[in-house]
Amino acid sequence: MSKRMASTLYPLALVISLVGLSSCKPETSNNNSGSNSGEVESMPISASEIATLKAADGQGTESIIGIFTSMVEARVQQNSVSAIVPYLQKELDARFEIKCAANCEIKEREMPHE
Amino acid sequence: MKKLFSFVLALVSLVSVSAKADAKFWVDDTEKIVALVANPTLNIGVVKLEVDDNYYGRLDFSLNYVYSDMNQQAQNILKNYSGYRAQRVVVERLGLYRLQIPILGLSRNVDPKPGADGPYVEDAIYLTKAQYKDVQNELAAGRPLVQIAGTMVGTVPITKPVEHVEIGNSICGSLLGDQATVSSTIARFGQVMTDALSQLDFRYDSTKQALVNDIKANCFQLASAPRVNSFADLLNLPLRVKQIGRPLYGETSKKVYERQEIPLTYEINQNGVR
């Protein structure tokens, strides 16, 4: 009960660190959400972003949303938001295990060595 | 011979007390400066002359700047502002000061003189034998003997808002739309904000950024307890409008120099013998 309440009342104060999204590139009609990942792949997840996510282990859900939106922000000059969001989601789910209740556990998945 | 005798008596009968006040100060966090107006020290001395009953004593007083007191005032303030430096504010008088010595029934204006550290006052009042005794009794009883009040003016640095732009909190609903999630809000945010901000006039980019930050910080909250097992879940978390009951705003503050009145109030009610 208390956990649930606490989570609900999170001042998502956030978190929604949509910094700079107000100047993002407008959506265009030829963006097929999720299918134009080739455009976004030119901006792979950087080592510093991976480090930031690893360091976020144990933080609240809102913090993780904030990190995600910062990653979106870093790509909006070159890509549309509708392309970036599914791309990042897919990439992050492939690289990390995440579980959030009150706080989030984030662990990098073991990648098979080539 | 009589004069010499009086002079010798004066030396051994001097009673001196002083009053100090804390410095007034203004903090500039941007440049890490504490601008301060050190207060002068009020000193009085009671001298026994015994020339005759009409010139039995003399009350000397001065409101002047004492380096050690000024330095102490600055140090007292700076100890709470590590890494800041003190900057002296140049002050001048604003009109006459009011001097009151209740036991003598005296209330009159005095004219402060301009000095390097600020306006100062030096004066003396001759005392009859009865007045001399009254003054001694007041000092012994610890009652206020001399009160002096006035106003100085100085130009001090003040940080204050130079631009304030508001937008109604209905923008939060526009940003979220229906059945809002983290993902849909991210997608809507750019366009809605661009439209909303274009309706407003900003003199400073920092005001616009502050407004965007206020919106981000205070428009949304998670609609329910998060249960997340993937980033896909994270993006699907529902959001709702946060009720803040005020407009959202951005502000830019800057340091400006303003002429300010600095009141002075002193009262001697201590006793000391030198």
- Note the pLDDT of residue A62: 87
Q: Does A98 touch chain B (CB under 8 A)?
A: yes
Query: Which ranges of chain B have pLDDT less than 50?
Result: 1-13, 270-274
* pTM as predicted: 0.58
Burial, B204: exposed, middle or buried (Cβ in 10 Å; 0-12, 13-18, 19+)? middle
The Cα of B76 is separated from the nearest Cα of chain A by a number of Å equal to 38
pLDDT > 90? residue A7: no
List pLDDT tens digits, range B29-54.
Answer: 878 889 988 888 888 889 999 999 99
Under 8 Å CB-to-CB from B140, ≥6 apart: which residues? B271
- Rounded CA separation B246/B172 (Å): 12
| Alpha helix segments (H runs only) across B163-274 | 170-176, 182-198, 205-218, 231-235
Q: Which phi and psi angles does A3 have, rounded to 5°?
A: -60, -45
Q: Give the residue from chain A lying closest to B223, CA to CA.
A: A8
Q: Which helix (H) or strand (E) holds B77?
A: helix B67-78
Q: Does A100 touch chain B (CB under 8 A)?
A: yes
Copy the structure tokens of residue B124: 């003396």
Q: Which of B186, B219, B232 sits opposite A81 (nearest CB)?
A: B186
- Note the pLDDT of residue B153: 93
Residue B239's closest CA among A3, A87, A69?
A69
End-to-end CA distance of chain A: 46
Compute the half-sphere exposure of residue A37: CA atoms within 13 Å on the CB side of its CA.
Answer: 11
Q: Which phi and psi angles does B50 have, rounded to 5°?
A: 55, 35
- Note the pLDDT of residue B271: 40
Q: Which of A21, A68, A88 sits opposite B189 (nearest CB)?
A: A21
Q: Does A3 touch chain B (CB under 8 A)?
A: yes
Residue A83's closest CA among B228, B178, B186?
B186
pLDDT > 80? residue A23: no
List pLDDT tens digits, range A55-99.
Answer: 999 999 988 998 998 899 888 888 888 889 999 999 999 999 999
- Rounded CA separation B192/A37 (Å): 25
- Note the pLDDT of residue B167: 95
- Note the pLDDT of residue B146: 86
When pLDDT is cut at 50, 70 and 90, the band that residue A4 belongs to is very low
- Note the pLDDT of residue A37: 45
